[in-house]
Amino acid sequence: MVSAISALWLLLAAAFLAALLLELLQAPRAGLGARLFQDLIRYGKTKSGCGQRPAWLRLLDVPKRWFSHFYILSVVWNSFLLLLLIQALFLSRPFPVWLQNLLSALGGASQNQDVGNKHLSVLLVLMLLLLHSFQRLIECLYISVFSSGVLHILQYCMGLGYYIVIGLTVLCQVPANVSNGKVVSLNHSIPFGDWFERVSCPHYFAELLIYVSMAVIFGFQNLTWWLVVMFVLFNQALAAVLCHEFYVNKFSCYPTHRKAFIPFLF
């Protein structure tokens, strides 16, 4: 039977696949539902691609620089989970009851079952996730230069929820412009160099590879993690398609051989 956590990832992956297909098939832009759809799939620079937005929609905007909140939350929450996991693995201290109940409601097995290699995989993936969040936080605080881009409040809540649920998903697998640099411009320009020569969004492609590599650590056969990978695949593919469209519309000289997301393919 599919666990609650797998069902959640399946649903999210399916929702982003549907949104990606709708967008590729030229979803309508007029009408209330279409406007809301466009507002929910776009953020930051690609929001300008759906024309002038009504005032009531703009009321639900939060600054895109709040992306850093995702990683602050992720660092704090996933450090906490890592601490509990280390205590459980090396000091035989059980998870708190509320966490045991939560994990079993989500479909995770009890931590008392089958202590083996899988525990080490979970430990490694949780540590990598934490490292990844920490690196992303540093990037948000000291490297990324956010202009006036915005997110829909639901996208913001989803980002916060994502980093809570991703840590829990890992635990369910237990058997049982630099700050001292000069900002040259706040305008978006055509990125060049390295993987940008092949695709418009190599950072989204790298994100996918990070999650695929975690699936490798889980031994290729962890269905729930592959559902997480599918979610990241469709979610990042959608963002990449919108970003690619943004560049093609904005820059008449945009390199025609560049794909949006996956080199040579898509």
Ligand X SMILES: NC(=O)c1ccc[n+]([C@@H]2O[C@H](COP(=O)([O-])OP(=O)(O)OC[C@H]3O[C@@H](n4cnc5c(N)ncnc54)[C@H](OP(=O)(O)O)[C@@H]3O)[C@@H](O)[C@H]2O)c1
Q: Is-contact 118 175, C-beta < 8 A?
A: yes
Which range, of 31-39, 82-90, 95-103, 183-191, touches ligand X by CB under 6 A?
Answer: 183-191
Torsion of CA 30, 31, 33, 34, to 10 degrees: 0
| Number of residues forming the site for ligand X (CB under 6 A) | 19
Residue with Cβ nearer ligand X (23 or 207): 207
Is residue 145 part of the contact set for ligand X (CB under 6 A)?
yes
d(CA 23, CA 34): 11
Is residue 146 part of the contact set for ligand X (CB under 6 A)?
yes
Residue partners of 251: CB distance under 8 A and separation at least 6: 190
Count the residues in the chain.
266
Closest listed residue to residue 238, CA positions, set 20, 28, 46, 75:
20
Is residue 45 part of the contact set for ligand X (CB under 6 A)?
yes
Which range, of 29-37, 53-61, 90-98, 200-208, touches ligand X by CB under 6 A?
Answer: 200-208
Cβ at position 216, least distance to ligand X in Å: 17
Q: How far is CA 4 from CA 98, 168, 169, 218, 235, in A?
A: 17, 12, 10, 19, 20
Cβ at position 237, least distance to ligand X in Å: 11
Two tokens, residue 44:
């930051």
Out of 130, 174, 207, 260, the residue judged to bind ligand X by CB under 6 A:
207
Out of 27, 203, 212, 245, the residue judged to bind ligand X by CB under 6 A:
203
Which range, of 50-58, 86-94, 142-150, 251-259, touches ligand X by CB under 6 A?
Answer: 142-150
Residue with Cβ nearer ligand X (16 or 37): 16
The phi, psi pair for 195, rounded to 5°, reads -65, -20
Is residue 104 part of the contact set for ligand X (CB under 6 A)?
no
Is residue 64 part of the contact set for ligand X (CB under 6 A)?
yes
For residue 152, give the H/E element and its range: strand 150-152
Chain residues that interact with ligand X, rule: CB under 6 A: 44-45, 64, 67, 144-147, 149, 188-189, 191, 203-204, 207, 232, 235-236, 239
